[in-house]
A and B are shown apart, each in its own frame.
Chain A
Amino acid sequence: MINVVIAGYVRSPFTLANKGALARVRPDDIAAQVVAALIERTRVNPQDLEDLIVGCAFPEGEQGFNVGRMIGLLAGLPQSVGGMTVNRFCGSSMQSVHIAAGQIQLGAGEVFIAAGVESMTRVPMMGFNPLPNPALHAMVPAAYLGMGDTAENVAAKWHISRTDQEAFAVRSQQHAAAAAQGGRFADEIVDIKHQGVVTDQDGCLRPDTTAAGLAQLKPAFDKEGTVTAGTSSPLTDGASAVLVCSEEYARRNGLTPLARIRSVAVAGCAPEIMGIGPVAASTKALKRAGIKMADVDVVELNEAFASQALACARDLGIRDEVLNIDGGAIALGHPLGATGARIVGKAASLLKRVGGRYALATQCIGGGQGIATLLERI
């Protein structure tokens, strides 16, 4: 079997939707700069690229027109390189990685860019024309349930208290703040230039967050609920990209692989508790690789909400010291389509940094799914 490796990871700064520094920048422009920077940093020969696979949760408006192809053209990739857009909501760009890995193992190419993008400013969540199917709604009422409501459901069902959620949010903010201060995002963030202005810093971080401050917030989704804006990931603009290639290609071309992909999985779950999706997906991926959670040294578990991240961490038995070492989406932000590639790339580079053997990247997906990628250090 052909080994597939992650041989590079970059992302744009993640900034708050509507008021952040990237609010006025088109998503395809953000992503194109990220793709170009990935090529520059990895020194991959763009002529070798088979395809640019871009994850996007709401591929319409400026994210329409098969935005994957448009981003390739904008980034100046050779016209011979393909371009596609993948949608699995929040799991979109992790799916891009999976597709690239599958293609490589199928012998359908040696090197791919798996990217993701979302401007939650410029294309609203649910899109411009939300038209749910009334018959499906009658049949499966939770199919279109709001994400906040699912977070409340998970909090209730898994008995995740508001205090625990807030402690988790503070932890995420503190880890992210420490990483930012320690310059540990420098190798992943690329400058985004727009009309003469350079954005080079994350914009969502709230390093001063305290449990006492969070306790003052009103519930965001249910007046009787426990989930607040402070324990949810913010609406975010941003893009990310990883270089996926065969181990053989990396060796032959002098690229520096960060990690090898050991196994991947997706799994469905009840839509009303979509936040628990990572449990089934990670369990499958671990089983496929024949590894136990105790063996995993780095976990990137997307923090859509503190309630679901805590429920997943408990059910999967993730140790605190390996979880979201540089903070998670509650602090960093969650540009839907871009998060999957970010956490795969982050898990791979953390594996290299902390020196462990296995890393898991996993996330929940609206509609009731989970997706997971298991990496191994080379």
Chain B
Amino acid sequence: MQSIRTAAVIGAGVMGAGIAAQFANAGIPVLLLDIVPAGSKDRNGLATAAIAKMLKTEPAPFMSARAAKLVTPGNIEDHLTRLAECDWIIEAVVERLDVKQSLYRKIDAVRRPGTAISSNTSTIPLQQLTQGLSDAFARDFLITHFFNPPRYMRLLEIVAGATTDPKITESIVDFADRALGKSIVRCKDSPGFIANRLGVYWLQVGVIEALDAGLTIEEADAVIGKPMGIPKTGVFGLIDLVGLDLMPHINASLARALPATDAFHEANRELPLITKMIADGYTGRKGKGGFYRLNRTGGGKVKESIDLASGSYRPEHPRDLPELKGAAKDLRGLLSSDGKYGRYAWRVLGQTLAYAAGLVPEAADDISAIDEAMRLGYNWQWGPFELIDKLGAAWVSDKLAKDGMRVPALLRAARDKTFYRHLDGRRQFLGADGEYRDLVRPTGVLMLEDIKRVSKPVLKNASASVWDIGDRVLCFEFTSKSNSLDGEIIALLGQTIAVVKEKYAALVIYNEGANFSVGANLGLAIFAANIAAWSEIDKLLSAGQQTYSALKYAPFPVVSAPAGMALGGGCEILLHSDAVQAHAESYIGLVECGVGVVPAWGGCKEMLARWSAGGLLPNGPMPAASKVFETVSTATVSKSAANAKELSFLRPADGITMNRYRLLGDAKALALKLAQNYVAPKPAEFKLPGAAGKLAFSMAVDSYHQRGLATDHDRVVADELAGVLCGGPADLVDVVTEQQLLNLERGAFMRLMKTEGTLARIEHMLVTGKPLRN
């Protein structure tokens, strides 16, 4: 059921264009309109330029090159009548009431009645926007406030007016959730809605308290970041990202709209330093720098930052402060400590939490909306009320009172309670009336965290757990650090296969970490190598190969459901699954060559099988091997699930889920579908080019080396990879089996593990997190 088949976005600025791109990512044709630029030959120039710019932007607004073709550029003089074809019209023009209203009148004259119209305004109340417009217009109108960048930020704030038709709202909510992948937070028609109201207050407090306390920006960001579960950009880094020049506009608009009693006014102090920085062109990362900058004068690259006292740049200070060690585990300790960091942390967080508690019911109906808005709109790990629960509502209230700060009624009322609780496995939140209510997931959403709260794992060891997710489907969850793969996971996978065979219909491999899996645990590999425990490494390779093969040929369907990174061994699990249901933001790749080895849990074998069977390539032994060589030797990682299909990490029929919350539900549904009349796949057979093909690859790599694009050790690694992909000693008339390829993978891996170049790469990756180009 999809109510929206085509859409239009008016206003081709950063937000409008980015919103149009997300429609295209969802497969929806979208019209992107802007004004006709004065004196320009191309009447669609603004929209055309916006699309062209997005194709060069990193991180990319489009998930695939194909998506970009779904955006049609146009202008509001020639193409307004085409709005009659659209099911949803989004206005994202300049934040001026008169401009918006004049556009609405034009839209109202051409649109089909019943078409949803929404504004992406972040500051103008809905009541003002619809004033004086037709009743029919007001019925179909709402605010949909996207966050920048629209592809990557999961939050969508929705404001429906008193006159908005609930059916319109529901159809937009449903579409934005399922097709655009957004998580909806319903807001009241109040200034700044929720996320920016609180977020801007928090940033402003963060800046002035740092100034007052005489902290450096590095210290401030370190205190506000990790200890509070806030991204390491902290306060100043985030302002750089948002743009310094935007801050005065947002502050002024909030100051105008908020009542004089609002605490925002106390924090809205004019800051001459920021005024000067903007005047000097230091507007943040989009410009030549902000609080932080990369000084390239003299051909160098020096990281610098602003000295808040003098206002001039100086070399950046280290950001890891020994005093903050353990603060993430003991936030209360940090907030209670009397040092300058403790005082700053408390001043900022205390005021922010108090302000958050004052937003119910003015900006939000309940606390869960505020927490969700801050988690998804500002990437906070915990929302403000979750933070209060961690600290204790009474503790926070008392400390606020002790320091002479305001204690909001909601916080006072909660003093002997928690804002969230679990009752019979259901998560509940504290309502403004003091009653607990269930947190209800949207229909079709299945979360492992909910299941884990009410059940015990079917199987479990130190690195993984297996959960019964109902309807005879098991879910295999990695629980190791960064979901890295080790012997424990391989062993538990083996046991799981036996259990599913006996009692269940299907297996889903899924977890709710930031990344599906970053690949094999390199620390273990280097440890084994350092004590020359080669047989241990070989044993783990062999166990992984056998287990992944067992997954593939098990008599039940296996569906993997990645989100975030699925690298190396994590990617190889996807390759051995019957099907994949991937989150749209999946970054999949065989990156082994980056650390000096080759995929050896069947990754080479499976990629060869895919490209050989695809029918997309010319005949002969080389094309499939070349494709795999190109992808694997360069450690290519997909930039989206759609891109992973182009690279054959995903099959054409694999599913893509836009909304992260819906991934497990979709994967389970796919597994159950496959379980009907399931037949395990047949092993592939290969015809590979042998020594001649290997020579062709090595000549290509030599040429890259000569051009300075491949390093010395790249040649060694690529040579081993080429050996595997060409079938080792096989002649091109031989039939190579899966087992023979697995043996070649293992042999190549073991030889590479014994080279200094590979050990140096692994060590470097473990220490720095970055690949070594040796």
Q: Which residues of A contact B (CB under 8 A)?
A: 61, 126, 128-134, 137, 144, 146, 148-149, 219-223
Judging by beta carbons under 8 Å apart, are A131 and B692 in contact?
A: yes
Q: Which of B668-711 contact A (CB under 8 A)?
A: 689, 691-696, 699, 703, 706-708
Q: At the interface, is chain A mostly helix, strand, loop or mixed?
A: loop
Judging by beta carbons under 8 Å apart, are B699 and A132 in contact?
A: yes
Judging by beta carbons under 8 Å apart, are A131 and B696 in contact?
A: yes
Judging by beta carbons under 8 Å apart, are A221 and B692 in contact?
A: no
Judging by beta carbons under 8 Å apart, are A222 and B706 in contact?
A: yes
Give the distance to chain A from B268, nearest Cβ to Cβ, in Å.
50
Judging by beta carbons under 8 Å apart, are A131 and B622 in contact?
A: yes
Q: Does B621 contact A (CB under 8 A)?
A: yes
Given contacts A128-B620, A128-B623, A129-B620, contact A146 B703 (CB under 8 A): yes
Q: Does B618 contact A (CB under 8 A)?
A: yes
Most buried by B among A130, A146, A149: A130
Report which of A131, A132, A220 forms a contact with B707, defined as CB distance below 8 A.
A220
Given contacts A144-B699, A146-B699, contact A129 B689 (CB under 8 A): yes
Chain A residue with the shortest CB-CB distance to B699: A144
**In whole angstroms, how far apart are the Cα atoms of A137 and B698 in the complex?**
12
Judging by beta carbons under 8 Å apart, are A128 and B695 in contact?
A: no
Judging by beta carbons under 8 Å apart, are B689 and A61 in contact?
A: no
Chain B residues near A148 (CB-CB < 8 A)? 703
Chain B residues near A221 (CB-CB < 8 A)? 703, 706-707
Chain A residues near B699 (CB-CB < 8 A)? 132, 144, 146
Number of residue pairs A-B, CB distance < 8 angstroms: 51
**In whole angstroms, how far apart are the Cα atoms of A129 and B627 in the complex?**
12
Judging by beta carbons under 8 Å apart, are B622 and A137 in contact?
A: no
Chain A residue with the shortest CB-CB distance to B709: A223
Q: Which of B644-669 contact A (CB under 8 A)?
A: none
Additional A-B contact list (12), CB under 8 Å, known A131-B692, A132-B699, A223-B707 = A126-B696, A128-B617, A129-B618, A129-B622, A129-B689, A131-B621, A131-B696, A134-B692, A134-B695, A148-B703, A222-B706, A223-B708
Judging by beta carbons under 8 Å apart, are A132 and B696 in contact?
A: yes
Judging by beta carbons under 8 Å apart, are A137 and B695 in contact?
A: yes
Q: At the interface, is chain B mostly helix, strand, loop or mixed?
A: helix
Chain A residues near B706 (CB-CB < 8 A)? 149, 221-223
Given contacts A61-B618, A223-B708, contact A132 B703 (CB under 8 A): no
Give the distance to chain A from B698, nearest Cβ to Cβ, in Å.
9
Judging by beta carbons under 8 Å apart, are A219 and B707 in contact?
A: yes
**In whole angstroms, how far apart are the Cα atoms of A148 and B708 in the complex?**
14
Chain A residues near B621 (CB-CB < 8 A)? 129, 131
**In whole angstroms, how far apart are the Cα atoms of A126 and B617 in the complex?**
16
**In whole angstroms, how far apart are the Cα atoms of A222 and B707 in the complex?**
4
Report which of B618, B694, B708 forms a contact with A128, defined as CB distance below 8 A.
B618
Judging by beta carbons under 8 Å apart, are B703 and A130 in contact?
A: no
Chain B residues near A146 (CB-CB < 8 A)? 699, 703
Give the distance to chain A from B52, nearest Cβ to Cβ, in Å.
16
Given contacts A149-B703, A221-B703, contact A132 B692 (CB under 8 A): yes
Chain A residue with the shortest CB-CB distance to B617: A128
Chain A residues near B691 (CB-CB < 8 A)? 134
19 sample A-B contacts, Cβ–Cβ < 8 Å, listed by A number? A61-B618, A128-B618, A129-B618, A129-B622, A130-B693, A130-B696, A131-B622, A132-B699, A133-B692, A134-B691, A134-B692, A134-B694, A144-B699, A146-B699, A146-B703, A149-B703, A222-B706, A222-B707, A223-B706
**In whole angstroms, how far apart are the Cα atoms of A183 and B404 in the complex?**
88
Chain A residues near B695 (CB-CB < 8 A)? 132, 134, 137, 144
Q: Which residues of B contact A (CB under 8 A)?
A: 617-623, 689, 691-696, 699, 703, 706-708, 732
Chain B residues near A219 (CB-CB < 8 A)? 707
Chain A residue with the shortest CB-CB distance to B689: A131
Judging by beta carbons under 8 Å apart, are B622 and A130 in contact?
A: yes
Give the distance to chain A from B253, nearest Cβ to Cβ, in Å.
46
Give the distance to chain A from B709, nearest Cβ to Cβ, in Å.
8
Chain A residues near B708 (CB-CB < 8 A)? 223
**In whole angstroms, how far apart are the Cα atoms of A223 and B704 in the complex?**
10
Give the distance to chain A from B736, nearest Cβ to Cβ, in Å.
16
Judging by beta carbons under 8 Å apart, are B707 and A128 in contact?
A: no
Most buried by A among B691, B693, B695, B708: B695
**In whole angstroms, how far apart are the Cα atoms of A148 and B707 in the complex?**
11
**In whole angstroms, how far apart are the Cα atoms of A230 and B377 in the complex?**
48
Give the distance to chain A from B568, nearest Cβ to Cβ, in Å.
29
Give the distance to chain A from B22, nearest Cβ to Cβ, in Å.
29
**In whole angstroms, how far apart are the Cα atoms of A220 and B706 in the complex?**
10
Chain B residues near A144 (CB-CB < 8 A)? 695, 699
Chain B residues near A223 (CB-CB < 8 A)? 706-708
Chain A residues near B619 (CB-CB < 8 A)? 128
Ranked nearest first, the 8 interchain pairs of A and B with the lowest CB-CB distance are A223-B708, A129-B620, A131-B692, A128-B618, A129-B622, A130-B696, A134-B691, A222-B706
**In whole angstroms, how far apart are the Cα atoms of A163 and B703 in the complex?**
24
Chain A residue with the shortest CB-CB distance to B622: A129
Chain B residue with the shortest CB-CB distance to A219: B707
**In whole angstroms, how far apart are the Cα atoms of A143 and B345 in the complex?**
70
Chain B residue with the shortest CB-CB distance to A137: B695
Chain B residues near A220 (CB-CB < 8 A)? 707
Chain A residues near B623 (CB-CB < 8 A)? 128-129
Judging by beta carbons under 8 Å apart, are B696 and A128 in contact?
A: no
Give the distance to chain A from B565, nearest Cβ to Cβ, in Å.
32
**In whole angstroms, how far apart are the Cα atoms of A221 and B709 in the complex?**
10
Chain A residue with the shortest CB-CB distance to B732: A131
Give the distance to chain A from B320, nearest Cβ to Cβ, in Å.
37
**In whole angstroms, how far apart are the Cα atoms of A220 and B707 in the complex?**
7
Chain B residues near A222 (CB-CB < 8 A)? 706-707
Chain B residue with the shortest CB-CB distance to A148: B703
Give the distance to chain B from A274, nearest Cβ to Cβ, in Å.
16
Chain A residues near B703 (CB-CB < 8 A)? 146, 148-149, 221
**In whole angstroms, how far apart are the Cα atoms of A131 and B690 in the complex?**
9
Chain B residues near A128 (CB-CB < 8 A)? 617-620, 622-623
**In whole angstroms, how far apart are the Cα atoms of A134 and B694 in the complex?**
9
Chain B residues near A134 (CB-CB < 8 A)? 691-692, 694-695
**In whole angstroms, how far apart are the Cα atoms of A298 and B696 in the complex?**
40
Give the distance to chain A from B215, nearest Cβ to Cβ, in Å.
45
Give the distance to chain A from B216, nearest Cβ to Cβ, in Å.
41
Give the distance to chain A from B404, nearest Cβ to Cβ, in Å.
65
**In whole angstroms, how far apart are the Cα atoms of A243 and B505 in the complex?**
72
Chain B residues near A130 (CB-CB < 8 A)? 622, 693, 696
**In whole angstroms, how far apart are the Cα atoms of A156 and B694 in the complex?**
30
Chain A residues near B696 (CB-CB < 8 A)? 126, 130-132
Give the distance to chain A from B548, nearest Cβ to Cβ, in Å.
30
Give the distance to chain A from B138, nearest Cβ to Cβ, in Å.
49
Give the distance to chain A from B690, nearest Cβ to Cβ, in Å.
8
